[in-house]
Amino acid sequence: MRRCLLLVAVLGACGPSGGTEGECTDDLRPGDLVITEVFPDFKAPPGGGGTDEGKEWFEIYNASDREVELEGLVISHGRPDDEEADTHTMEKVTIPPGEHLTLGNSIAELLPAYVDYGYSASLGDMYNSGAGQIELRCGETLVDSAQYEMIEEGFSRQLTSSQPPDYTLNDDLTQWCAGGGTEFEIGNFGTPGTDNDCLPTIVGQCNDGGTARDTVPPGPGDLIITEFMPEPSSPQPDKEWFEVRVMRDVDLNGLALDRAGDTSAADMIESPDCIAVTAGSFIVFARNTDETLNGGLPPGAVLGEFDFSLTSSADKPGDIQVLHGGVVIDAITWVDATARRSRSLDPDFVDATANDEESNFCDGVDVYGAGDFGTPGAMNPQCVAQPQPGQCDDGGTIRAVVKPTPANFVITEFLANPAGSGTDATQEWFEVQNTGATAWDLNDLVVKGNTVMSTIASAECKSIPAGGFALLAHTTATDTNGGLPEVDATFTSALAQSNGSISVLEPDGVTVIDAITWTTGIADGPSKQLDPDQATSTGNDTPANFCNGTTAYGTAGNLGTPKAPNLQCP
C-alpha cells in the first residue's frame, strides 16, 4: 500500500528537509519498527543504463499497535563492521500500525510511485555484493537493525512472509529470501509498501500455498523408474528423458538424479515451494523442459531436468539412479536400446526389484510429440512376450534365431579411414553379404576388431535375406555417421588403418564365421571393396581382392557402396 498520499498534510512532500539528530519526536522502543525489505540493485530495461541512482530503496514496518511518528529517527547504512556509516535523520512522517513505509535514494520531486520518502544520497550506495547493514536509532536506543547480502540484480531481499515482521526474526539471514513473485517495475521484483511474498528455503521444509511445512521425502520403492528414452531422434541430448511412477504421496524437493560411477555431481530437484506428487501418478525428468526442443513431451509432465547422457553400449551399460539424502530410491541398468523408441516397463512389473530385469522392459509402440515412440507421463502398454536367449521377435512372433555359416556369410566391404579428422569413432563401418539361398539373423553374433569384442544384442530379429547386405557401424545416427543408409547393427571396436582385422564370431565368442585382415595403410576416404567375383569367405582372405571404393555416398566426402553391390575391381 502506498503511504505518500496519506502523508501530504504532514510532510508537504515525501522527503526530508531537516530534523534534530538523535532525538525522536515519538517514544520509539526496540521492535516498534522492523526493517522488512531491501532493494540494492536495480535492473535496467533493455537498452537502458545500469545505474541504481534513484532506484534503491528499503522498507520499514510499524510493528506497534499505534501510529508512530518518525521525526528525528536516525538511519545509518554501511558495512556490518563500519564504524563511520552514512546517516540520515528523518523528517516528520507517520506510519499507521501494521503498515509499511518505503524509503528511496531520491529527492522528493523525483521519487518513483512506489517510494514514500526520499533520503537522497545521504546513506550512500547500497552494496551489490558482500553484506550491508541498516540501523534505526532514537538517541542511544537501537529500534531495529538488519543486514542484507546475496544480492541478485532486479530482486529485493525480503524478510520471510511466514509470520508477522519481528525485529529479532530479521537478525537471522536464513529468514530472508529473494522477492520474485511481484514485478513492481519492468524486470524488477519486490513488494515496496506491501506485505512480502517470499518464503526462504529451509532444509527439510517447503512452502505449501503460503504455509511452511515439513517435506515428505520419498523412501526406497516410493518412486519406480518405469520408462526411459536413451536413443531419441536427432538432436539426441535434448530429447532424452525418463519416467517414474509415484507409489506414495511424497515431495520431490531434494531428490537427486544421477548415474552410478560417473564423476559429475547429481542433478538436484530444488524449490522453496513443495513439489508434491500423488500416488499413482507418472512424472517425467528430461534433458530439456522446452517442448519445442525435447521432442514434444507432454506439457506439465516434466518436473525436473538432468544433464547426464542416457547412452549405452554392450561394454558400457546405461544406468539411472534416483536418490534422496544419499539413499537410493530406485535404480536401473540396461544394454539394449532401439533408435527412436523408449524402453517401457511392463505394467505387471512396476516394482523396485522387477525393474532391475532388463527383460521386463520392451520398446515403446505409441507415437508421442514429434514422432518418437513411448508413453511419457502415462501408463505403459502391456509388453508382448519377450524372446528368451537364442530367440528373437519377428514382427510379433517369437522364433529361434537363424545362425549364418561360413558358407553364406561374407565380409564384403569396410571403411577404416573416413575422410577428415576426428571421424573414425563415428564414421567407420563394414558390410556383410548373405551369399546363401535363405535368410539368416545378425542377432547374438560377436564382432571383434583387433582386440575389442561386442555382441549384437536385440530383441527384434535382425534378418538379412538371401543375397542381401547388412551394414554394421559405430552409430545409427545419420547426422554423425557420415550419412550412411539404414544401419542394421552397431559395434564398438575401432578399425585400424594398418595391420587391422575384422572378425565375426558365433555367440560363443570363439567360433569364427568370417574374418578379414589387412596390413597396408588405408587411404583417407575410400572404402575397401571386395571384388564381386571373390565374394566368398575364402576369397576375402586375400587383401589383393579388395580395391578402393569410387562411388560417393552420404554427406562427409567418403567413397563406397555401403549396403549395396560392389563394383568390379580394375
Q: Grid cell 520431490 — which residue?
A: 252
Q: Does pTM top 0.85 for this prediction?
A: no
Residues 491 and 524 in one domain: yes
Nearest to 361 by CA among 380, 340, 378, 388: 380
Assigned domain for 37 exists:
yes
Contact between 348 and 240 under an 8 Å Cβ cutoff? The reply is no
Q: What's 525's domain CATH number?
A: 2.60.40.1260
Model pLDDT for residues 93-136, shown as the tens digit of each residue: 999 999 999 999 999 889 999 999 999 999 999 999 999 999 99
How far apart are the C-alpha atoms of 242 and 226, rounded to whole Å?
A: 8
Q: Are residues 61 and 173 in the same domain?
A: yes
Shortest CA distance to 60 belongs to which of 83, 85, 90?
A: 90
Are residue 360 and residue 474 in the same domain, yes or no?
no
Q: How many domains does the chain have?
A: 3
Distance CA 479, CA 481 (A): 6
pLDDT digits (tens, 9 = 90+) for 220-241: 999 999 999 999 998 778 999 9
Question: 422 with 373, same domain?
Answer: no
DSSP 347: G
pLDDT for position 133: 97
Gyration radius (Cα) of the chain, Å? 35
In a domain, 522, yes or no: yes
Question: How far is residue 106's CA from residue 398's CA, in Å, rounded to a whole number?
Answer: 80
The residues, ordered by sequence, that sit 6+ positions from 281 with a Cβ below 8 Å of its Cβ are 245, 246
Residues 21, 23, 28, 29, CA torsion sign: positive
Would you call 175 helix, strand, or coil by DSSP? helix
Domain ranges, residue 302: 223-383
For residue 85, count other CB atoms closer than 10 A to its CB: 17
Q: Are residues 43 and 189 in the same domain?
A: yes
The pLDDT score that the predictor gives to residue 11 is: 31
Residue 395 lies in a domain: no
Residue 226 pLDDT: 98
d(C-alpha 443, C-alpha 334), whole Å:
17
- 379 within domain boundaries: yes
Task: Clarify whether residues 33 and 164 are in a common domain.
Answer: yes
**Together in a domain, 465 and 544:** yes
Residue 388 included in any domain: no
Whether 359 and 240 map to the same domain: the answer is yes
In a domain, 537, yes or no: yes
* Residue 212 forms part of a structural domain: no
Give the model's pLDDT for residue 194.
95
Do 132 and 232 lie in a common domain? no
Residue type present at position 26: D
Q: What average pLDDT does the chain have?
A: 90
372 and 422 both lie in a single domain? no
Q: Which stretches of the chain score pLDDT less than 50?
A: 1-20
Do 471 and 364 lie in a common domain?
no
Q: What is the CATH number of the domain that holds 246?
A: 2.60.40
Whether 394 is covered by a domain: the verdict is no
Question: 379 and 438, same structural domain?
Answer: no
Cell numbers standing for residue 181:
513473485
Residue 548 and residue 530: Cα distance in Å, rounded?
A: 9
Give the model's pLDDT for residue 210: 74
Give the pLDDT of residue 21.
Answer: 52
